[in-house]
Amino acid sequence: MLKRLALGLLTAWAALGFLQEVNEALAGWDGRARKVAGPWAWRMHTPATDDLARCLRAARESMPAGSAVAFASPDDAPEAVFRRWRWAAYFLPEYDVLQTSDPSAAQLARYVVAFQTEIQDPRIEPVRRLPNGWLYRVKRP
């Protein structure tokens, strides 16, 4: 009797989980899916990562491989800034991607990629407009 009850509960739990997954898949397919926010928004092939990938793909065309690149993004939450920087490093494996807050970035970086922000600084010059951002070249004295 106890085995049947346990088996029935396990089957019901598996069926509910399966129906939940099917519902989420269909909601994503027909557009009913809710917008994901927070740390779960930063998964592969979400709008956030696709926008960043598009921006960095365009920046890659104007920078020589192996360059040190400073990455800037909007200053909202510190964990969001960190997450965008790590994704930028993931999408630019052939570059040394530094945060603009890193003290060594001023000496090492030859370029600055600004995602969803614009930088006004006399030490950098704009190279080109990117999708969702700007590419800058660091002026050397």
Give pLDDT tens digits for 58-75: 999 999 989 899 999 988
Q: How many CB atoms lie within 10 A of CB 62?
A: 13
Range 96-117 average pLDDT: 90
Using the predicted structure, report yes or no on whether residue 90 has a pLDDT greater than 80: yes
Rounded to whole angstroms, how far apart are CA atoms 33 and 99?
A: 33
Place of tokens 């898949």: 25
Question: Domain residue spans in the chain?
Answer: 2-34, 39-138
Q: What is the pTM of this model?
A: 0.68
Q: What is the DSSP letter of 35?
A: P
Using the predicted structure, report yes or no on whether residue 113 has a pLDDT greater than 80: yes
Rounded to whole angstroms, how far apart are CA atoms 88 and 97?
A: 7
Write the pLDDT tens digit of every residue in 11-48.
Answer: 999 999 998 888 887 776 776 666 555 555 667 777 88
The one-letter amino acid code at 57 reads R
Supply the pLDDT for residue 94: 94
Rounded to whole angstroms, how far apart are CA atoms 82 and 29?
A: 31
